[in-house]
Amino acid sequence: MEEKERPVDFIREIIREDIKNNKYGGRVHTRFPPEPNGYLHIGHAKSICLNFGIAEEFKGLCNLRFDDTNPTKEEQEYVDSIKEDVRWLGFDWQEREYYASDYFEKLYEYAVELIKKGSAYVCDLSADEIRDYRGTLTEIGKDSPYRNRPFEENLGLFERMRKGEFPDGSRTLRAKIDMRSGNINMRDPVMYRILHAEHHRTGNKWCIYPMYDYAHCLSDSIEGITHSICTLEFEDHRPLYDWFLDQLGVYHPQQIEFARLNLSRTVLSKRKLIQLVQEGHVSGWDDPRMPTLSGIRRRGYTPETIRNFCDRIGVAKKDSTVDMALLEYLLREDLNKRAQRVMAVLKPLRVVIINYPENQPENQIEELDAINNPEDPGMGTRKVPFSRVLYIEQDDFREEPPKEFFRLAPGREVRLRYAYFIKCVDVIKDKSGKIIELHCTYDPATRGGDSPLWVGSSTDRRKVKATLHWVSASHSIEAEVRLYDHLFAVPDPGEETGDFKKDLNPESLVILRSCMVEPYLAAAKSGDIYQFERQGYFCVDPDSSLWDGSSTGGKTVFNRTTTLRDTWAKIEKRLK
RNA sequence: UCGGAGGUCGUCCAAUGGUAGGACAGGAGCCUUUGGAGCUCUCAAUCGGGGUUCGAGUCCCUGCCUCCGAGCCA
């Protein structure tokens, strides 16, 4: 089988060209540079797959570098979660775990060099004043009165900034570029600010911290990065990235920008994600409805699906929103191959097989053979107990079936998967008219679910239109099932209303507490993935281990990762 | 209004001056012991206007639309 050629994106094209021209000596070295101030989400996965993927493909390297230049926002907890997520995706940075804070001393020396060159100066303007002097998008800025301080004075002042002689915000070190530039980033940007804050790695060693633009290009340079890949909003920063490196005459990587991922029916901005957590719209960063990697993982997605997805969406410079349906398609494709099939009744309806022998003990239970995965015979078979009293899905019975409904109804015959054909002969209701039980007969000739020949025919087999899943009442185990759906009810949250929270899907989580699953699931452990036949893919939630006294009452908890493709649901929707 | 970047099926990505193609979504059908999976078919696009060229999605001009930018955030 030949591999389908996937077209290369513009970044890989640039890299191919660079290798051909022996730029950087044919070397390829990328980096993934998260700020440890939050959890990674699927948008970050795109960047991770791009950077680590390129390194793999071109036999290069990819560093993991924490961009930790703002001590007021960053924490070790985030460093740990980021490492876990990158590892989960299957990437390895070996010993190359770096921190911008590792370079603080070197960065300071470079700053001194720039001051000596007359390319940087200490400015006494306040934050408000700097903003005033900066001008606007349409008006040029004006020079700071401190712009032309002699370099000895700048040197002295900068040294005293480092020593902690000045309060926060009282002074900054600025690059001396051009206050009349059309690019606001070039209007003497701040390089260092005074921040008497404890840093998660350097503690109280520093009270001045470098800004992103200054630290990032130099960190790339120090690490010998060849291609510094970032998102579109940094396009305006590239002249500044280049300026610092050129001024210092140091090794110069190239910055390349691509469009960040947007996904329909969710949000990926840090600000919005924080709101969802803080206002309790979700249970936390790892809520299975969150697009965070920890949430996705708990939901039951596999890292292979995410990597495949990142591969399939491509890389370009155009703003775009990928349809969640593509992610779900790839998820099903992956899970279909690997998930063990199992039967679970989510909303049980009691069924009594009235002609099933009940007075002969040896006949009361049968062990029937069920296939574990029709896509993979290697996964084998298992035994499923059958008895006189069963549960089927409430949704699989209609007293008055619409035309296209071909599941169980009064007088109608269907197949119970791997068991028998049954026919509904009676509907039992309580005083309020609610259906509480079905009486059915079974046909012993259909054992295993095989269709027998019509009476008198040698070729024509009896047909049933539906096959239902079921469990034996006395053998099944009670479980909690959490049905997850899209967090947002519309493709583009906030688009219409202006407030993304108004578009939250009220049914993004439905909890079912008395589901009945087949006994095989007694051995299920946290993280295990199953397909509940005809319903979807489910994984065992970590809450399952919170035995006794917990909200789950010691039951196993299954998260619905995604539904199966559901033709009937589509028909039903159309009928409404 | 100034600077930067973008506009190809509903969505995402291709086509690198030579037949606009793939995937998802939608529709129709086949098959089926999961209304699953699979298979087949189908719908569907070059932002507008000029120009260059034998030939333009691609090159030039022009207009329009979208996104990003005024943190001592990254």
What is the ipTM metric for this complex? 0.97
Q: State both tokens at A286.
A: 């790892």
- Quick one: pLDDT band at residue A547, thresholds 50, 70, 90? low
Q: SS3 helix, strand, coil % of chain A, rounded to 5?
A: 35, 25, 40
Question: Out of A115-129, A301-315, A375-389, A444-458, which region has the weakest mean confidence (pLDDT)?
Answer: A444-458
* 3-class SS letters over A430-441: CCCCCEEEEEEE
Does residue A569 have a pLDDT over 60?
Answer: yes
- Quick one: pLDDT band at residue A551, thresholds 50, 70, 90? low
Burial class (CB in 10 A: 0-12, 13-18, 19+), A534: buried
- Quick one: pLDDT band at residue A1, thresholds 50, 70, 90? very low
Write down the catalytic residue from A12, A96, A147, A270.
A270
Tell which residue, A425, A466, A465, A419, has the closest CA to residue A446: A419
Q: C-alpha distances in angstroms, A82 versus A85, A130, A198, A219, A292?
A: 5, 35, 21, 19, 11
Q: Report the SS3 class of residue A551.
A: coil
The nucleotide minimizing the C1' distance to residue A126's CA is B72
Does residue A185 have a pLDDT over 90?
Answer: yes
Q: Which residues pair with A350 in a beta bridge?
A: A391, A437
Question: Per-residue DSSP letters for A124-154?
Answer: ---HHHHHHHH--SSS-----TTTT--HHHH
**Given this model, what pLDDT does residue A96 score?**
98
* 3-class SS letters over A272-324: HHHHHHHCCCCCCCCCCCCCEHHHHHHHCCCHHHHHHHHHHHCCCCCCCCECH
Q: Report the SS3 class of residue A155.
A: helix
- Quick one: pLDDT band at residue A575, thresholds 50, 70, 90? confident
As a whole number of angstroms, the distance between CA A483 and CA A183 comes to 49
Answer whether A98's CB lies under 8 Å from A66's CB: yes
pLDDT digits over A475-519, tens only? 999 999 999 999 999 999 999 888 999 999 999 999 999 999 999
Looking only at the bridges linking them, the beta strands covering A389-393 and A366-371 are unpaired
Answer whether A568's CB lies under 8 Å from A561's CB: no
Quickly give A475 CA vs B7 C1' distance in Å. 61
Average predicted confidence (pLDDT) for chain A = 95
The nucleotide minimizing the C1' distance to residue A536's CA is B36
Q: State both tokens at A344.
A: 């679970």
**Given this model, what pLDDT does residue A573 score?**
86
Tell which residue, A101, A77, A116, has the closest CA to residue A209: A101
**Given this model, what pLDDT does residue A360 score?**
59
Q: Report the SS3 class of residue A537.
A: strand
Write down the catalytic residue from A12, A73, A260, A398.
A260
As a whole number of angstroms, the distance between CA A343 and CA A532 comes to 5
Quickly give A532 CA vs B34 C1' distance in Å. 9
The nucleotide minimizing the C1' distance to residue A128's CA is B72
Quickly give A313 CA vs B42 C1' distance in Å. 24
Quickly give A237 CA vs B14 C1' distance in Å. 30
As a whole number of angstroms, the distance between CA A82 and CA A80 comes to 5
pLDDT digits over A247-298, tens only? 999 999 999 999 999 999 999 999 999 999 999 999 999 999 999 999 999 9
Where residue A265 falls (left for φ over 0; alpha for ψ -120 to 50; beta otherwise) is left
As a whole number of angstroms, the distance between CA A291 and CA A75 comes to 21
Q: C-alpha distances in angstroms, A528 versus A289, A537, A542?
A: 18, 11, 10
User: Listing from the earlier edge strand, what are the strands of the sheet with A61-66?
Assistant: A29-32, A61-66, A97-99
Quickly give A328 CA vs B73 C1' distance in Å. 34
A260 is catalytic: yes
As a whole number of angstroms, the distance between CA A192 and CA A122 comes to 9
Q: Please calculate the CA angle A269-A270-A276 and round it to the nearest 5 degrees.
A: 95
- Quick one: pLDDT band at residue A3, thresholds 50, 70, 90? very low
Q: Which nucleotides of B are covered by protein (CB under 7 A)?
A: 1-8, 10-16, 23-27, 33-38, 66-74
Q: State both tokens at A432.
A: 């309020």
As a whole number of angstroms, the distance between CA A122 and CA A132 comes to 17
The nucleotide minimizing the C1' distance to residue A124's CA is B72
Tokens 């009928």, located at residue: A575
Write down the catalytic residue from A12, A27, A35, A437.
A35
pTM greater than 0.90 (yes/no) = yes
Helix pair A10-20, A42-57: axis angle to 10 deg:
20
The nucleotide minimizing the C1' distance to residue A406's CA is B35
Q: C-alpha distances in angstroms, A172 versus A194, A207, A243, A343?
A: 7, 12, 19, 66
Answer whether A313's CB lies under 8 Å from A263's CB: no
Catalogue the E-assigned strands of A8-111. 29-32, 61-66, 97-99
Quickly give A407 CA vs B30 C1' distance in Å. 21
A35 is catalytic: yes
Tell which residue, A82, A50, A457, A30, has the closest CA to residue A219: A30
